[in-house]
Amino acid sequence: MSESEDKDSKTEEPTEKKLKDALEKGQTAVSRELPLLVSLACFTLYFVFSAPGLVSELTRTLAGLFEKVGQTDIGTPLDATNFSTLISTRLVLLMAPLLLILMAGGIIASLVQNEPRLVLDRIAPKATRISIAKGWSKLFGKQGLVEFLKSFTKLSFASGVVFAALYSTPEALLSGMFQHPKAFGGVVFDLIERLLISVCLAMVIVAIADVFWSRFHWRENLKMSRKEVTDELKQAEGDPILKARMRSVARDRSRQRMMDAVPTATLIIANPTHISIALRFDEANDAAPVVVAKGQDLIALKIREIARQNNIPVFERIELARALHKSVSVEQIIPAEFYVAVAELIKIIYTRAEKQ
């Protein structure tokens, strides 16, 4: 069967077990745009609220370094290393909050989509992952074409939104060129702020669409054929043939136990060959007569045969046999409404025993 035919046969929605197995294997629905959106939003918020202070601090730091440039001795490689380390350390300290925010945003966006799992199979080295043929098919096959169209659509949409937001930017830049340099810095800051907010708004729509698409695509790839659903149902509930066989074995064992209990009976009530009820009554242990075996047709005949072999009296009482067979289960005491009728039969047995 070809791959297309195989996909066409997968028309059933994935079962809970199939979804759970996929998650345990690390096959999750992941949107790559959501972490990007969160990181971009975090960067935008940081820029809007902290950029002026960051720029001022960075300016003071660099100004202090340049003011002391004549006093800094860089005569040896070690001096140059120490100087570059000093600058790098200060820059890292200034940028550390932004880096931490970006990292936290990316992690949170990933955790929102799926709970973390350690799937060793996903990181285990496999030769198929470096296959040139598979890599080529991913790039230029159907999946590659879909990814290209998605990227092109996202880029086009984001570009359109940014263009619309910055349509009046050239006029603002031209007017800012005739202002004081500090005032022009404010114009540039507003321009960057507007650009970032526009990109964030565009990415919100793109991320929402990508989240829905990734979920839809994930479930589509996990769809099952009717045979797979049937096989999974058999595994979950057991093979019907095997279950029927087990029920048959259980019935046979129950029937055998019942036949083994017939010799302990006190009397048999029959109808006359279709139904047999074996009752036991032991004054010392039984509060009332107990059904130790019952059956119809062949089982009834077998009960009567065992009764004859063990000299157990058989009474033909059609209505009583039918009523007992219908209302009493094996190893249960007979209901009170049958006490009188059964007691009369037991009395007959005791009378016979006394005469002998």
How much is the pLDDT for 320?
Answer: 87
Token representation of residue 3: 């791959």
Walking along the chain (356 residues) 10 residues at a time, the average pLDDT comes out as 55 78 76 83 81 68 63 65 75 77 81 67 61 64 71 78 69 61 64 80 84 84 80 67 74 83 87 84 83 87 88 87 86 86 86 76
Rg value, the chain, Cα? 43
- Same-domain status, 292 and 217: no
How much is the pLDDT for 239?
Answer: 60
The DSSP-derived string for 204-267 is HHHHHHHHHHHHHHHHHHT-B-HHHHHHHHHHHH--HHHHHHHHHHHHHHHHHHHHHHGGG-SE
Percent of residues in the chain assigned helix, strand, coil, to nearest 5: 70, 5, 20
- Same-domain status, 253 and 288: yes
Q: Is residue 324 within 8 Å of 291, Cβ to Cβ?
A: yes
- Same-domain status, 201 and 99: yes
Q: Answer yes or no: is 237 within a domain.
A: no
Q: Is residue 255 within 8 Å of 308, Cβ to Cβ?
A: no
- Same-domain status, 43 and 150: yes
Cα atoms in the Cβ-side hemisphere of radius 13 Å centred on 80: 3
Amino acid at 323: A
Print the domain residue range for 312: 242-355
DSSP classification of residue 337 = G
Token representation of residue 106: 């990316």
DSSP classification of residue 333 = B
- Same-domain status, 181 and 256: no
What is the CATH number for 299? 3.40.1690.10
Q: Is residue 25 within 8 Å of 121, Cβ to Cβ?
A: yes
